[in-house]
């Protein structure tokens, strides 16, 4: 019996590993664009996470003919008026590394005390079937921007996203705990329900 395939519309290895865990147990084979020889660059020109996730999911679904899952996520810092927001990946300029983005963020917050460094992560997952409506799932996680990086797990802004209730940054969490509380984990639990329904209806 053939296993249903789901295209994860990303070449970010850290993100792909997280989805392997987050969607574990579903009767799906998760594949990435390069498995299909797809090298697609979708300009994330939307003004919301929903717009960007939708654009990516639709583009990959149309290119592959498969149900495709894409997400857009960002970090919103209260003291910066919600920056970097949907531009989180490009905040320090095109082609910047994770370390450069984190460094740029910390420099922007220089002199801001811990009690004024509240922030939250946002993730919106879009699931697209070729030629049909797109399903959207959203998750958020509250925290504080630390004064310096800590931890070597995760990616992006994880090393400076401090979780006061746990006393650690996102990059210090085990993958299992991170997936339980993170913005992507919360959105993925909603996405699992969507995928289960699609499987039941024979759409995947």
| pLDDT computed for residue 2 by the predictor | 59
Rounded to the nearest 5 degrees, what angle is found at the Cα of 191, between the Cα atoms of 178 and 51? 100
Rounded Cα distance between 101 and 4, Å, is: 37
Cα separation of the two ends of the chain: 14
Here the CATH number for the domain that contains residue 12 is: 3.90.950.10
Rounded Cα distance between 156 and 75, Å, is: 10
| pLDDT computed for residue 43 by the predictor | 82
Contact 143, 121 (CB under 8 A): yes
At 157 the three-state DSSP class reads coil
Record the pTM: 0.91
The active-site residue, picked from 24, 71, 72, 133, is: 72
Contact 182, 121 (CB under 8 A): yes
Q: And the tokens for 70?
A: 């894409």
| pLDDT computed for residue 147 by the predictor | 97
Q: Helix and strand tally (H, E) in the chain?
A: 5, 8
Quick check: is 72 catalytic? yes
Q: And the tokens for 136?
A: 């959207």
Q: Number of folded domains in the chain?
A: 1
| pLDDT computed for residue 1 by the predictor | 44
Q: How many alpha carbons fall within 13 Å on the CB side of residue 36? A: 22
Task: Name the residue range of residue 53's domain.
Answer: 4-200
DSSP letters along 173-203, please? S-HHHHHHHSHHHHHHHHHHHHHHHHHHTT-
Ranges of the chain with pLDDT below 50: 1
Q: Is 111 left (phi over 0), alpha (psi -120 to 50) or beta?
A: left
Rounded Cα distance between 102 and 148, Å, is: 9
C-alpha to C-alpha distances, 178 to 51, 71, 149, nearest whole angstrom = 26, 17, 17
Rounded Cα distance between 35 and 161, Å, is: 33
């Amino acid at each position: 019996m053939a296993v249903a395939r789901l295209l994860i519309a990303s070449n970010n290895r850290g993100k792909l590993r997280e989805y392997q865990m987050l969607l574990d147990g579903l009767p799906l084979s998760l594949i990435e664009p390069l498995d299909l020889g797809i090298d697609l660059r979708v300009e994330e020109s939307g003004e919301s996470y929903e717009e960007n996730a939708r654009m990516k999911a639709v583009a990959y679904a149309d290119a592959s003919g498969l149900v495709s899952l894409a997400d857009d996520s960002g970090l919103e810092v209260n003291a910066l008026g919600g920056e970097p927001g949907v531009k989180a990946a490009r905040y320090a300029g095109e082609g910047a590394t994770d370390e450069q983005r984190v460094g740029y963020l910390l420099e922007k917050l220089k002199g801001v005390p811990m009690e004024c460094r509240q922030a939250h992560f946002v993730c919106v997952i879009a699931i697209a079937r070729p030629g049909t409506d797109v399903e959207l799932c959203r998750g958020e996680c509250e925290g504080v921007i630390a004064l310096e990086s800590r931890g070597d797990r995760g990616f992006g802004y994880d090393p400076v996203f401090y979780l006061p209730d746990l006393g650690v940054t996102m990059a210090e969490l085990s993958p299992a705990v991170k997936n339980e509380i993170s913005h992507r984990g919360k959105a993925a639990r909603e996405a699992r329900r969507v995928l289960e329904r699609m499987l039941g209806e024979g759409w995947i």
